[in-house]
């Protein structure tokens, strides 16, 4: 039995995918039963790194998603449209879907899964999070026996590269970003990466699977790394931390309720924490569950080869199911499909309980530290340390680390502190893992 696929897009990941499929030697033998029936591209005459026979290539993407001979549509266009419409149209024509498109799933996952469940087809998306790292399938299948407590990940390679370089070179954000753009690790418009949106898309997907509920993408608290300075990295280092952009989903289950906190922000991570040593463009995802404890998945979070590896693993998964059912699966495997329909109730960031790091520039007058302590105390914010760390432009630089406090209280205290004459500015406020 041969399974026919239609490929939408022949960019970096599409090319990597076709390269694996056209060169199955030494890989899982199931690949030999897969045929690329059609490849949809924008510019058919463009020269490419892979030899796809010209008669397979078309610019008519719709023709692919309705082709009765195609079993699996592999969407590698990226972006919201026409990806969303083509996926929905393919589902309506009973095609299984494999996609690497985190943006479309994070925003339209509900609509897409609902359509897929009605049509009895799979929508697999291993490549959407963590590039080549197997995380979606392990989370669905291997960790499903657990009560998931948290998912904490470094899921954006660009920002991890920038923070790693800033740490290694003591350089500021702007310089390192420019260098990363030169090297191709950051895009010309780096917004989606450096402002945390890409990481938010990914944690929306992971949270939805791990906590078995829908997550509204727009409710995710999201803070990027533009404001991180070389000074903060140095002070964090002195305190025993590195700064990482973390995507975090934490659940707390009461007897009849379940609340979820989903957020993306730069975070101080203790140097002996497993995520602290994940450097460069690598990604890692740490999952905590009961009774499992902690497992971590580490690997290349982007790139043609790793992402194509994940795309092809999803194709293989569907081919395996088709082969074992003579091409006609009677129903969907509940561990591979996504059937939850309720929305997780997300806690507002004000109710987050976390430790904070904050840096203040103050007039160098007696009593400033006492004043800070009093303000924080008034709002129930308990301090772990207050250290005057140096001088800058004749202002005293003071770094505060709190115990675990409610974010709302901390913000109120900050608001009050900002008003005081002795405080010139608050250049940075960061959470501590």
Q: How far apart are CA 316 and CA 177, in angstroms?
A: 38
Residues 256-285 that bind a second copy (CB under 8 A): 274, 277
15 has binding-site annotation = yes
Asked whether position 138 contacts a second copy by CB under 8 A, the answer is yes
187 is in an annotated binding site: yes
One DSSP character per residue, 47-110 reads --SS---GGGEES-HHHHHH-TT--EEEE---SSTTHHHHHHHHHHTT-EEEE--HHHHHHHHH
**DSSP secondary structure letters along 103-136:** HHHHHHHHHHHHHHHHHT--EE-GGGSSTTS--H
> Judged by CB, which is closer to a second copy: 223, or 314?
314
Q: How far is the CB of 209 from a second copy (least distance, A)?
A: 11
Task: Say if residues 194 and 224 touch (Cβ distance below 8 Å).
Answer: yes
User: What number of chain residues touch a second copy (CB under 8 A)?
Assistant: 63
Quick check: 426 binds a second copy (CB under 8 A)?
A: no
Q: Is 202 a catalytic residue?
A: yes
Q: Which residues face 428 on adjacent strands?
A: 359
CB of 374 to a second copy, least distance (A): 42
Helix (H, G, I), strand (E, B) or coil at 268: strand
Q: Tokens 């450096």 correspond to what residue? A: 194
What contacts 98, CB < 8 A, 6 or more positions away?
A: 72, 73, 74, 75, 124, 125, 311, 314, 315, 318
CB of 377 to a second copy, least distance (A): 38
Site for a second copy in 331-370 (CB under 8 A): 331-336
102 annotated as a binding-site residue: yes
Report the DSSP pairing between strands 395-402 and 353-362: antiparallel
Backbone phi, psi, residue 3, to 5°: -110, 135
> 86 labelled as ligand-binding?
no
Out of 85, 117, 146, 234, the residue judged to bind a second copy by CB under 8 A: 146
Residue 162 in contact with a second copy, rule: CB under 8 A: no
d(CA 248, CA 250): 6
The response to whether 139 counts as a known ligand-binding position is no
Backbone angles phi, psi at 266, to 5 degrees: -65, 140
Closer to a second copy by Cβ: residue 247 or 287: 287
Our CA angle for 327, 332, 333, nearest 5°, is 105
Choice between 290 and 418, CB closer to a second copy: 290
Piece in contact with a second copy (CB under 8 A), picked from 129-137, 173-181, 228-236, 261-269? 129-137
Q: Tell the smallest beta-carbon distance from residue 35 to a second copy (Å).
A: 16
* Distance, CA of 353 to CA of 407 (rounded, Å): 6
Where b means 16+ CB within 10 Å and e means fewer, 3-30 reads bebbbbbbebbbbbbbbbbeeeeeeeee
How far is residue 229 CA from its own chain's centroid? Answer: 23
Q: Which is nearer to a second copy, 139 or 222 (CB)?
A: 139
For residue 153, say whether it is annotated as part of any ligand binding site.
no
From 68-76, 223-231, 306-314, 390-398, give the range in contact with a second copy by CB under 8 A.
306-314
Work out whether 66 is an interface residue with a second copy (CB under 8 A): no
Give me the catalytic one of 202, 216, 244, 323: 202
Closest approach of Cβ 274 to a second copy, in Å?
A: 7
Residue choice 78, 134, 408, 427 for contact with a second copy (CB under 8 A): 134
- Determine whether the annotation assigns residue 224 to a binding site: no
Site string for a second copy, 195-224 (x = CB under 8 A): -----------------x------------
Provide the binding-site residues for a second copy, judged by CB under 8 A. Answer: 16, 19-20, 26-31, 126, 132-134, 137-138, 141-147, 212, 253, 274, 277, 289-300, 303-306, 308-310, 312-313, 316-317, 320-321, 323-326, 329-336
Question: Known catalytic residues?
Answer: 202
């Amino acid at each position: 039995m041969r399974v026919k696929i239609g490929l939408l897009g022949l960019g970096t990941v599409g090319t990597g995918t076709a390269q694996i499929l056209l060169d199955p030697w030494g890989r899982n033998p199931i690949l030999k039963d897969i045929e690329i029936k059609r490849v949809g591209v924008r510019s058919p005459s463009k020269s490419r790194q892979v030899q796809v026979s010209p008669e397979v290539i078309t610019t008519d993407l719709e023709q692919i998603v309705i082709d009765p001979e195609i079993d699996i549509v592999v969407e590698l266009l990226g972006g919201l449209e026409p990806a969303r419409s083509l996926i929905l149209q393919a589902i309506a024509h009973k095609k299984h879907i494999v996609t690497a498109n985190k943006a479309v799933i994070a925003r339209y996952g509900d609509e897409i899964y609902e359509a897929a469940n009605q049509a009895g087809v799979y929508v697999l998306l291993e490549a959407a999070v963590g590039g080549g790292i197997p995380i979606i399938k392990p989370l669905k299948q291997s960790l499903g026996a657990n009560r998931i407590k948290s998912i904490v990940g470094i899921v954006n390679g660009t920002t991890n590269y920038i923070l790693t370089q800033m740490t290694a070179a003591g350089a500021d954000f702007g310089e390192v970003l420019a260098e990363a753009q030169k090297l191709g690790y950051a895009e010309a418009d780096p917004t989606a990466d450096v402002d945390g949106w890409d990481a938010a898309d990914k944690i929306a997907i992971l949270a939805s699977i791990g906590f078995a509920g829908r997550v509204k993408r727009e409710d995710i608290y999201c803070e990027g790394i533009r404001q991180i300075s070389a000074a903060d990295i140095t002070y964090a280092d002195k305190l025993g931390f590195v700064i990482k952009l973390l995507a975090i989903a934490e659940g707390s289950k009461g007897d009849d309720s379940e609340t979820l906190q989903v957020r993306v922000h730069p975070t101080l991570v203790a140097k002996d924490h497993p995520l602290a040593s994940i450097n460069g463009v690598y990604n890692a995802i740490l999952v905590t569950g009961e009774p499992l404890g902690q497992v971590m998945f580490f690997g290349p979070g982007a790139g043609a080869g790793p992402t194509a590896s994940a795309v092809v693993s999803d194709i293989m998964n569907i081919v395996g199911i088709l082969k074992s059912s003579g091409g006609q699966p009677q129903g969907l495997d509940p561990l591979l499909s996504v059937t939850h329909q309720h929305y997780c109730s997300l806690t507002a960031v004000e109710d987050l309980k976390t430790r904070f790091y904050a840096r203040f520039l103050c007039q160098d007058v007696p009593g400033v530290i006492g004043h800070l302590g009093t303000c924080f105390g008034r709002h129930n914010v308990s301090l772990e340390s207050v250290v005057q760390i140096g001088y800058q432009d004749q202002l005293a630089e003071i770094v505060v680390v709190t115990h675990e406090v409610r974010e709302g209280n901390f913000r109120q205290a900050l608001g009050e502190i900002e008003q005081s004459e002795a405080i010139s500015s608050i250049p940075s406020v960061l959470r501590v893992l």
